[in-house]
Amino acid sequence: MSKIIIYDNKNILIADLDRTESRKKRHDFESANNESKEPVSIFEYEYRAIFKEYKLIHSISLKKQLKKIEKIFKYHKEKM
């Protein structure tokens, strides 16, 4: 599984990605400038990421925590 790290000034969220989903919606509109009178199609894409497990770390010294995480990922290699 992939991991994602999201952080702000106070918190770090580490989560395991379970799966992703995408959805495509089609909207047809009539155009006033369209001479052929065919509807104009506009596609809307929606993406989701579903996480199963997560860990929230509260930190006063966020820079120290981030440096530790960067060192861990610097030496971590995923198998392909």
**pLDDT tens-digit profile, the chain (80 residues):** 677 777 776 777 888 888 889 999 998 887 777 666 778 888 999 999 888 877 777 766 666 777 777 777 777 665 54
What are all long-range contacts of 20-24, with beta carbons under 8 Å and residues at least 24 apart?
20/47, 20/48, 20/49, 20/50, 21/47, 21/48, 21/50, 22/46, 22/47, 22/48, 23/48
pTM above 0.75, yes or no: no
The whole-number pLDDT of residue 79 equals 53
